[in-house]
A and B are shown apart, each in its own frame.
Chain A
Amino acid sequence: MNASAQIERSDVISTDDVILAIEGLNVSLPAGMDRDHAVRDISVELRRGEILCVIGESGSGKSVMSNAVMGLLPPQLKPVAGRIVFDGRDLLTEPPEALRDLRGRAISMIFQDPLSALNPLMTVGDQIAGVMRAHGVGTAQTRRARALELVREVGLPDPELMLLQYPFRLSGGQRQRVMIAMALALEPQILIADEPTTALDVTTQAQILELIRDIQRRKGMSVMFVTHDFGVVSEIADRVLVMEKGHLVEAGTVQKVLTRPEHPYTQRLVAAVPRMRGDTREGMQGTPVVLKVENLRKVYRSGGGFLSKERRVVAVDDVSFELRKGRTLGVVGESGSGKSSLGKLLMKLIDCDGGRIILNGADVAAMPEAAFRPYRKTIQMVFQDPFASLNPRHTIGRILTAGPVTYGETPGVARAAARRYLDMVGLSASAFDRYPHEFSGGQRQRIGIARALMFDPQVIVADEAISALDVSIQAQILKLFADVQAETKVGLVFITHDLRVASQICDEVLVMHKGRVVESGPPAQIFLSPGDDYTRRLVAAIPGAEITLSHDGSPQP
């Protein structure tokens, strides 16, 4: 098997090299969905010792396909045609007990969110050993020894101690390593990875991709890697499949698909990948300061009760910046950097422990809620999750007008404003009487932006406002932010974990790490010649540097 890992990446292969063949797979959707097939007429060959990336946006059917291989489709999704051939057997017609025996032993899977994918009540060691016990492998002692070996192999610290840990004590990257250790326990021939790095920070993502690559090479394993991120694809893939709305639209080697995509959808997708921009954005200069923050500080305290030690976490430490009218300030950092706490402090959703927030000439940092109320109109927020942040039982009209009306606006004026802003964010006025569930994620985020605009604010805080969206939608919403800003001259605080996105929209960027601003300046300086070590690591970890370099040669839609 190790020899087969050295196979040339070529399109000419013999059937011996194919470890898993999906032939004409059709999976039907229950009636009443927007289309009748989750995947339609998909034929895929996974070769020995290769990493095959399956890329597509949400709803493309990429996860349905990988779950079909595992026999883990929810009951409402039924494979209605085709074969999935592994080891000379059609997995779609095998009895459930035979499939169960293959799962975890011959074909393993890792998932997107490693916290929820691990049992919160069981130790790491028990969960890894559990895979072996399920297949009747070894004794309690040998299973424990093997678990220890696996924990070492995936690079977890303190292996002995790690076996006794509970998942909630581990970091996101460590949890994903535990998942990988579980998947590798019985040396499977195929690993299916369903967006395994999507929930991770960019530096952690780089480490996990490296680990998967490394293990795959050493064991000659075949990997089917499902992702939505072309950056990840360029880092890890041998071959790529592109899926759109349940169809396979393009397949080929990674070089071919990334540099010479043939299908129009692939071309659009590759073009929409956010790229690092080194140029300074043309924007307004010398405009008045609308928001000034000085030495802002937030400390989270917990457990400071009876018989328990107080835990202190400095979330925001001595942060200062200025935001001018019509300009965009990017706040970038990984999870735990304090960037979201900063956003909440600016909105006064949490109280600060020191420093000043000067909005409209007044220091609002220490203001009680009642005194702050008139200022709330001048600073508004766009949230990350476009699904959770709109009340499903209210019409769009009500969602938009509720705020201004409670601030004393007459309903008539508010309704007129709502229609105007719906038009500005690119939705038709008919959206007014409809409900959130009738809109797509991108459209809902447009509604979220319209809601923020209703007060005619001077500052909008956008907290990861595009991270939950597909890349093609991300590009549209970014453009909308730029358009809205050009029209309303609003100052924008754009909080994001994605440096590429920040480089596209910001005039100035703050890089946050452990609550502190480690570096600030125009994107060109931050991203092309970072002065701080941490910034350098962050920039280096961005996946898909190759595509960034081939920017000029990339296809135009």
Chain B
Amino acid sequence: METGRYILRRLIYAAIMMLCTSAVIFFLINSLGNPVELMLAETPGVSQETVDLISAQYGLDKPLIQRYFIWIGDLLRLDFGTSITYNLPVGGMIWSWGLHSMQIQIPAIILSVAVAICAGTWAARRQHSRQDFTVMGTVLLGQSMPAFFLGIILIYIFSFVLGWFPSYGAISTRRLLWGSALFDGLWHMVLPVAMISMFNIATLTLLVRTNMIDTLRQDFIRTARASGLKEGEIIRRHALRMVMLPVITYVGLLLGLMLGTSPVTETVFTWPGLGALYVMAIQQLDYPLIMGISIVIAVMLILMTTLTDILYALIDPRVRLE
């Protein structure tokens, strides 16, 4: 009952937030001026009549407010318009490029959480020991390395020197690995996934370690010890649940941002992901594409944070009351 009302409230907040975000995206991008004019500005010999004609073709002659509602109406029917540069439906493009992004992001996030929970807990239980310093040092090194630099190092070692993994693309263009698209795809994923994971692992390990140290000092852990629970049980049943709360918040953010926000990784590995597409769209001033990807990123982020809030409330009963 209480939980149901909490979830409903979160969902309504999310809907309101999406509406606001869509307005910001639309008006911000359109405040730059008439896209047709901007695109044809460097093309000589284009008359004003031509510009007006093309503008009318895209519906750009209507008032801004009216265009906003037309755009929202189209979005609700999942019609994102047509890309100017590629002349393809934007919706379909976001779908296929987005799937490629998720193909490396989701395994990276799962891997990161698994590694971070183990490493963070391990370090927390040995606070200030040599092992703890080793873990922390590695983590800080990983976190402070620039993304493109890490990518280049990975390519140099594992692709150029050792030749174990391909350095670019999502699939082999000539012969598939072991003749299987599945294995070939996995083979191509290894390096990009490793690169994204390293950053996530660094942040998440710090998060897990700090919270674990804090939780293990709590009185209810002492109670669990006084009740004769085994150390492993105390970690699994009592401490980890507490530690998972901030981890869920952070992972929710990672999932929310997984589309279109890793242009560096995708560019370094020439991975056909949404981030790389987004950068291209901006360079080409491809308005429908820019607006489509922007709204998808925003909606994804709002959905994931809402989901995080709900999950949080399911774990921590105290939250539902607020």
Answer whether A and B are interacting partners: yes
Instruction: State the A residues within 8 Å of B (CB).
Output: 70, 72, 100-105, 108-109, 111, 113, 116-122, 130-131, 134-135, 166, 168, 179, 182, 303, 306-308
B314 to chain A: closest CB distance in Å? 10
Given contacts A104-B226, A109-B226, A306-B9, contact A166 B219 (CB under 8 A): no
A100-B230, A104-B226 known; A307-B8 Cβ under 8 A: yes
Residues of A within 8 A of B223 (CB): 111, 117-119, 179, 182
B positions within 8 Å CB-CB of A:
5, 8-9, 12, 218-220, 222-230, 233, 237-238, 241-242, 315-318, 321-322
Q: Identify B220's interface contact among A70, A100, A118, CB under 8 A.
A: A118
| A303 and B220 form a contact (CB under 8 A) | no
Q: A70-B226, A72-B225, A101-B228 are in contact. List 15 more A-B contacts (CB 8 A).
A: A72-B226, A102-B228, A103-B226, A113-B219, A118-B220, A119-B223, A119-B224, A121-B316, A121-B317, A122-B238, A130-B237, A131-B228, A182-B227, A307-B5, A307-B9
Q: Which residue of B lies closest to A70 (CB)?
A: B226
- Of B8, B225, B226, B318, most A-chain CB atoms within 10 Å: B226
In the assembly, what is the distance between CA of A32 and CA of B140, in Å? Answer: 33
Q: Contacts A121-B316, A308-B5; is A72 near B222 (CB within 8 Å)?
A: yes
Chain B neighbourhood of A103, CB < 8 A: 225-228
For the complex, give the distance between the alpha carbons of A105 and B317 in Å: 30
Q: Choose one: A131, A135, A166; the contact of B318 (CB below 8 Å).
A: A166
Q: Which residues of A contact B222 (CB under 8 A)?
A: 72, 111, 117
Q: Which of A120, A130, A306, A308 contacts B227 (CB 8 A)?
A: A130
In Å, the complex CA distance between A182 and B229 comes to 12
Q: Does B226 contact A121, Cβ atoms closer than 8 Å?
A: no
Report Cα–Cα, A108/B225, bound state, in Å.
10
| Bound CA span A454–B229, Å | 53
6 interchain residue pairs of minimum CB distance: A104-B228, A104-B227, A116-B219, A103-B228, A134-B229, A109-B226
Q: Are A308 and B9 in contact (CB under 8 A)?
A: yes
Contacts of A131 in B (CB 8 A): 227-228
Do A134 and B220 touch (CB < 8 A)?
no
Nearest Cβ on chain B to A87's Cβ, whole angstroms:
15
A251 to chain B, nearest CB (A): 25
CB of B147 to closest CB in A, whole Å? 36
**Cβ contact of A120, chosen from B226, B228, B229, B318, cutoff 8 A:** B318
Q: Please report the C-alpha to C-alpha distance between residue A104 and residue B223 in the assembled complex, in whole angstroms.
A: 9
- Taken together as a complex, chains A and B put the C-alpha atoms of A182 and B237 apart, in Å, by 16
Tell me which residues across on chain A come within 8 A of B316, comparing CB atoms.
120-121
The 15 listed contacts between A and B (C-beta, < 8 Å) are A70-B226, A104-B226, A109-B226, A111-B222, A111-B223, A117-B222, A120-B220, A121-B317, A122-B238, A130-B237, A134-B229, A135-B228, A182-B223, A306-B9, A307-B5
B220 partner residues in chain A, CB cutoff 8 A? 116-120
**A179 to chain B: which residues have CB within 8 Å?**
223
Q: Is the CB of A121 within 8 A of B241?
A: yes
On whether the beta carbons of A117 and B12 are closer than 8 Å, the reply is no
Partner of B322, one of A113, A117, A303: A303
Closest to B234 in A: A134
B12: chain A residues within 8 A (beta carbon)? 306-307
- Check A108–B226 contact: CB distance below 8 A: yes
Chain B residues contacting A72 (CB-CB under 8 Å) are 222, 225-226
**Partner of A116 from B218, B228, B230, B317 at Cβ < 8 Å:** B218
Select from chain A the residue with minimum beta-carbon distance to B316.
A121
Partner of B219, one of A102, A105, A111, A303: A111
Once bound together, how far apart are the Cα atoms of A102 and B228, in whole Å? 7
Bound complex: CA of A116 vs CA of B238, how far in Å? 13
- Chain B residue contacts of A307, Cβ below 8 A: 5, 8-9, 12
Chain B: which residue is nearest A71 at the CB level? B225
A130, B317: Cα distance in complex, Å: 19
Instruction: Compute how far the CA of A307 lies from the CA of B220 in the bound complex, rounded to whole angstroms.
Output: 34
Residues of chain A with a CB closer than 8 A to B318's CB: 120, 166, 168
Decide if B233 touches A134 in the complex (CB within 8 Å).
yes
Which of the listed residues A119, A122, A131, A179 has the most CB atoms from chain B within 10 Å of its own CB? A119
Neighbouring A residues of B242 by C-beta, 8 Å:
121
Q: A303 touches which one: B224, B228, B229, B321 (CB < 8 A)? A: B321
Q: Provide the bound-state CA to CA distance between A118 and B317, in Å.
A: 14
User: For the complex, what is the distance from the CA of A313 to the CA of B58, rounded to whole Å?
Assistant: 59
In the bound complex, do residue A168 and residue B317 qualify as a contact, i.e. CB atoms below 8 Å apart? yes
Cβ distance A201 to chain B, nearest Cβ, rounded Å = 20
Closest to B221 in A: A119
Q: In whole angstroms, how far apart are the Cα atoms of A38 and B218 in the complex?
A: 22
B218 contact set on A, CB distance < 8 A: 116
Residues on the A chain within 8 Å of B321, using CB: 303
Return A185 CB to nearest CB of chain B, in Å: 8
For the complex, give the distance between the alpha carbons of A130 and B229 in Å: 8
The chain A residue with its CB closest to the CB of B218 is A116
A111 to B218: give the CA distance in the assembly, Å: 13
Q: Which A residues lie within 8 Å of B219 (CB)?
A: 111, 113, 116-117
Which residues of A lie under 8 Å from residue B224 when comparing CB positions?
Answer: 119, 130
Closest Cβ–Cβ distance, residue B261 to chain A (whole Å): 31
Closest Cβ neighbor of B16 among chain A residues: A306
**Cβ–Cβ < 8 Å partners of B241 in chain A:** 119, 121-122
Nearest CB of B to A495, in Å: 27
**What residues on B are CB-neighbors of A130 within 8 Å?**
224, 227, 229, 237
CA distance A306 to B318 in the complex (A): 19
- Beta-carbon contact of A119 and B238 below 8 Å: yes
Residues of B within 8 A of A117 (CB): 219-220, 222-223
Contacts of A118 in B (CB 8 A): 220, 223
Q: Are A100 and B228 in contact (CB under 8 A)?
A: yes
